[in-house]
Every structure is written in C-alpha cells, then in structure tokens.
Amino acid sequence: MSFHGDFLKYQYRLLQLLQSCSKLRALNTTKPLHALTITISPNPEQSTFVYNNIISFYASFNQVPLAHKVFDNMPQRNKVSYNSIISCFSKYGYLEEAWRTFCEMIDCGFTPNNFTLSGLLSCASMDIGRGIMLQALAIKNGLFCSDAFVGTALLGLFGRCGWLDEAFHVFEDMPNKSLVTWNSMISLLGHHGFVEDCVVLFRKLVRKEGSLSKCSFEGVLSGLVCEEDLEFGGQIHGLVIKSGFDCEVLVSNSLINMYARCSSMSQVEKLFEEVDGRDVVTWNTIISAFSKSKNPGKALEVFLKMNGLITDALIFVKASETLLAVVPANSIAGIYNRSGQYFETLKFLSQLEEPDTVSWNIVIAACARNGNYNEVFELFKHMRVAQMLPDNYTYTSLLCVCSKVCNLALGSSIHGLLIKTNFRYFDIVVRNVLIDMYGKCGNLESSVKLFDSMTERNLITWTALISALGINGCAQEALERFNDMEFLGSRPDKVAFIAVLTACRHGALVREGMQLFGKMNNYYIEPDMDHYHCLVDLLARNGHLEEAEKVISCMPFPPDAQIWRSFLEGCKKRRNTEDHAVCIK
C-alpha cells in the first residue's frame, strides 16, 4: 500500500479510537491514544482535532497537569483548543491559569465566544471584579443575548458571591433562558431563604416550560425549612409523583430532607422505606434526621440495619461519621458517662440480637471519640475472642488511638497484624492513618516508606505525609512535597495548609510561610484561627514581632489565648536576647 493509503488508513483508525474513547472514557484508554498521537503525527488539522479531544478527556479525569502538557505541546491551536484548556482550568478552580490562558487567547487573535466566557465564569474561585469585566465583554460582543450559556454562568457567579440583587437582574434581563437558568435561580433563592420568591418562580416555571427536571425539584425543596412550609412541600411531593420523578434518588433525598426540616418524621420514615435506590446522601439524611428528633435511638437502629443491606464502603464511612457526630450526645454517650463504662459497653453489645462487625465498630469508635483508650483495645480483644473479623473501620479506630497516645510499639503491632491479615485488602483510609500514626510517633522513615509504596493517593495521603515531615523537623522536604502535590493536580484544603504552615513554623521558614499564607487566597480559602496561629507563631518565634503584631491587628476575628501566648513568648525571647547582649557588653 502507498504511503498516502497508509496515512488515510491511520487517520481512519485514529478517528475510530477517538470515537471509542468518547463512549468509554477511561484514563487507561486516553493515555495510549495520547501516546499514539505523539508517535505518529497526522496532518496539522487532524492533530489539532485529536489533541483537543485528548485535553477534554484528561479534564474529565481531573488530570489537569496532563491536559496542560498536551496543550503546551500542540503544534497548532484553534479556538476550541483554548476553550478546552480554559474550561479544564476553570472546572478545577485554577483561576489564574485560566485567566492567563484567556489573555493569551486574545493576544493570539482568537475572539472569545460563549463557551469561553461561560467556562471562565463557572470557575468556583472567579472574583467579582473579573466577572464584571467578562459581563461587559459579553454584552459588547452580543454573547449575553445570543443564548443562555453566559447569562446562566454569570447568574451562578453572582449567587456564589452573595450578590442576589445582581443575580436577579441578570435573570430578568436574559432574553433566552434555559431550564438550567430557571433551576439555578430557583435553587439560589431557596438556599438563601427567600422562600416566597422561590415558590413564585417555581410556579412560573411550571406554567411556562411545561417540563421540569430533578434539579427543579431539588431547588424549590431546598427553600422549605419549617412547619409553615409543610403544606406546600406536600404539594411539591404530589407533583413529583405525578411527573414521574419519585424514582430519582436526588429528588427522594430532597423530599426526605424537606420533611425532616419541617418536623414531619412520620413522612420521613415512610418515604425512606419507599425509596428504591439509596446513596450516601440518603443514609446520611435519614440518620441525621432521626438523631435530631425526639427519638434519637432510631438513628442507631437505622445505622445497624445498614449492615448486609449495602456494599458501598463510602456509604458506611459517611453514615458512621454522621452518626458518631451526634450519638455521643445521646444514645450511646450515656453508656460512657456512667461508672463501669467498659462493662456497660459489653452489656450494650450483648443486648443486640446478632452483634456483628458493624456493631463492634460503632462502640469501639465511640469509645475512641470519648477518650476511653484502654477500653478500645479491651473491646478489640473481646471482638477477636468472639471471632468477629475486624475490617478497615476497626483498624482505623485502633490506629487513631495509637496516634493520640503516641504508642509506637502498639501501632507497629497493629500494622503487623494488618500485614499478616493481608495488607493489600485494606483501603487508602487505613494506609493514610498509618502514615499519620508513624509520623506522630516519631518514626518518619516508616511514614515515607508507606507513602512511596502507595499507588493510589488522595489529598489526605499528601497531608498526612507533609504533617509527618513537618513535626519531625524536615520542613524543607515537607514544602517540596506540598509543591509536588500541587503540581500533580491535588488542590490543598484548609488542613493541608495547616500541615505545611506548621512545617514552616518548626523549620523557621519565615519567607516560605508568608508566601504560603498568601497563597491560600488563590484557592479561595479563608484562613481560620489555626492558620493565623501558625503564622503569628512563625513570625514571633523568629524575631519578626512587628510583622506578627500587624497580622494580629488585621485578623477578621479577635485573637484567642493561644495566639497571644505565642506573641508574648516571642516578646520574652527578644527581651532575653537583648538582656544577654547587654550583659556581654
């Protein structure tokens, strides 16, 4: 076959692969396609088309660095290329990168369209100033009136920033409104407590559109929050059934939540029993609703029913977090607030018809949360005597206790038991807790070894390692790991910033700590008291008292005793240094 024939055949095969990847999107199918595109270059136009799709694929898997790399290495770019990478950056909150690419797009002679502007405006960290600039650009270029994309995104921006009047004006001025536009405005009014306006708008939508979506019901139900709203909530419930949305899990969860807020627990229980599909939110909602009702013991009863009914570990984790956040204040807490706690706990277990691993996990976790650390391991011994197999949640509770009491020998024994049991079976949560335990117990080498051996990592994994490095005196390496985490696409949260700021504090990295504190704004994270304490302590203990005082005076809330203690310790240290210098003279 001629070269031309081979080339056409290659193009055809590449398009087939591209079509298959779009139907079955997966990272392990996108990477080979990317590699094939690099090794066998098609014509420039074909290349641009394929690269644009690869950027979109990587974006859908939160592989921002890979998408960015593809964009940087493209031989040619078009408007779609810029829109794809801007959308990718915006989706995951990389505002500065998205804005810089937007400016580059204009400099290269490409005119932004509705997809460009709506992508930027949808960025969660977009600020009002730049948002208004984009609004002006949209109006000037006729993009605001051409369709609903830009207006809906602008409405969302104003809503996120609390500019409700401006959001409503945008909604009123839009000549073209989609169902998404209506749903966004209804949800915005509902979440901000404008119940009457929310209801009025929903009724207009019912009359105007004739067709609703599950998000329409979620939006209007979010605004119903008290017993006075129960009658209208019942009407919405009837419309849900009439419209055939009662089988949608999102709508069912919204209805359960609405009835719980409106204090109609009989309806909550009835609806929960009738729901066919249940997800994390369903279980969390029902457990939270009962825990706040007049019958909080019902929350525990529902939780125990979960065992055997579900196989999704995420549902168990989230539901147990919800339960344990409230149960120590009611049903289970009474067990631990009396004398003879340990025996009362065993009595509680013996009263259950069939105490299983879930039951043991609940009381072990509750003991751990209430500081009864000795009882935790006594219960674990009895659990094994009862031939109940511990699972991820059991070991998580045990290792957390080892971290709190800084017992390396005990923690290492638990790790040994995990390896003996088959460590490959245990999930990322257990491995993260192990990294944290070894770090807090002073065995940094084991923390690093565990981290390096993990093929799957999440933000908590990185945070645990950064924290371990920081508290063990490896501040510079902690900072390097934090930068690696960012580069690989993990967005730091408040806890991650506390970990790296603490590392800077222990390592006297003043300049780096100041830069990191300022960097929080890039991720739209408002510093809380812990972040301010890290910064003040870093400055004060390294002699920068004027800067520390300035930080304290600019805090958005009154400083607590811990912050003042750090500042005064810094003053004392300076005075001692000055006195020592005088004595030498």
How many helical (H) and strand (E) elements, i.e. helices and strands, does the chain have? Answer: 35, 0
Cα separation of 289 and 293, whole Å? 6
End-to-end CA distance of the chain: 93
Q: Are 82 and 110 in contact (CB under 8 A)?
A: yes
Helix crossing, 114-121 with 149-160: angle to 10°? 10
Predicted confidence at residue 514, as pLDDT, reads 94
Predicted confidence at residue 451, as pLDDT, reads 94
If phi > 0 it is left, if psi is from -120 to 50 it is alpha, else beta; for residue 95 that is alpha
Cα separation of 422 and 426, whole Å? 8
- pLDDT digit string (tens) for 369-427? 777 788 888 888 888 888 888 888 889 889 999 999 999 999 999 999 888 887 776 77
Helices (DSSP H) in 370-458: which residue ranges? 373-385, 392-405, 408-422, 428-440, 444-453
Cα separation of 308 and 291, whole Å? 22
Q: Are 205 and 217 in contact (CB under 8 A)?
A: no
CB atoms within 10 A of CB 405: 12
| Closest to 438 in 3D by CA, of 473, 456, 459, 465 | 465
Query: Which amino acid makes up residue 152?
Result: T
Predicted confidence at residue 225, as pLDDT, reads 85
Helix crossing, 214-221 with 230-243: angle to 10°? 170
Q: If 0-12 CB within 10 Å is exposed, 13-18 middle and 19+ buried, where does residue 551 land?
A: buried
Cα separation of 25 and 12, whole Å? 19
Residues in the chain with pLDDT values less than 50: 1-5, 7-8, 308, 311, 313-314, 326-342, 580, 582, 584
Predicted confidence at residue 172, as pLDDT, reads 93
Q: Are 479 and 506 in contact (CB under 8 A)?
A: no
- pLDDT digit string (tens) for 237-258? 999 998 888 888 889 989 998 9
Q: If 0-12 CB within 10 Å is exposed, 13-18 middle and 19+ buried, where does residue 199 land?
A: buried
Here the tokens at position 250 are 């999102």
Q: Are 326 and 292 in contact (CB under 8 A)?
A: yes
Residues 6+ apart with CB under 8 A from 34: 54, 66, 70
Predicted confidence at residue 30, as pLDDT, reads 63
Here the tokens at position 364 are 């072990």
At which residue do the structure tokens 């009914």 appear?
A: 309
Q: Are 52 and 88 in contact (CB under 8 A)?
A: no
pTM of the model: 0.56
Predicted confidence at residue 297, as pLDDT, reads 63
Torsion angles phi and psi, residue 310, rounded to 5: -130, 155
Residues 6+ apart with CB under 8 A from 112: 102, 105, 106, 137, 141, 143
| Closest to 500 in 3D by CA, of 488, 489, 518 | 518
Predicted confidence at residue 409, as pLDDT, reads 94
Cα separation of 568 and 573, whole Å? 8
Q: Are 118 and 152 in contact (CB under 8 A)?
A: yes
CA dihedral for 6, 7, 10, 11, sign (positive or negative): negative
Predicted confidence at residue 4, as pLDDT, reads 45
Task: Tell me if residue 509 falls in helix, strand or coil.
Answer: coil
Cα separation of 154 and 134, whole Å? 9
Cα separation of 157 and 519, whole Å? 22
Q: What is the CA radius of gyration of the chain?
A: 28
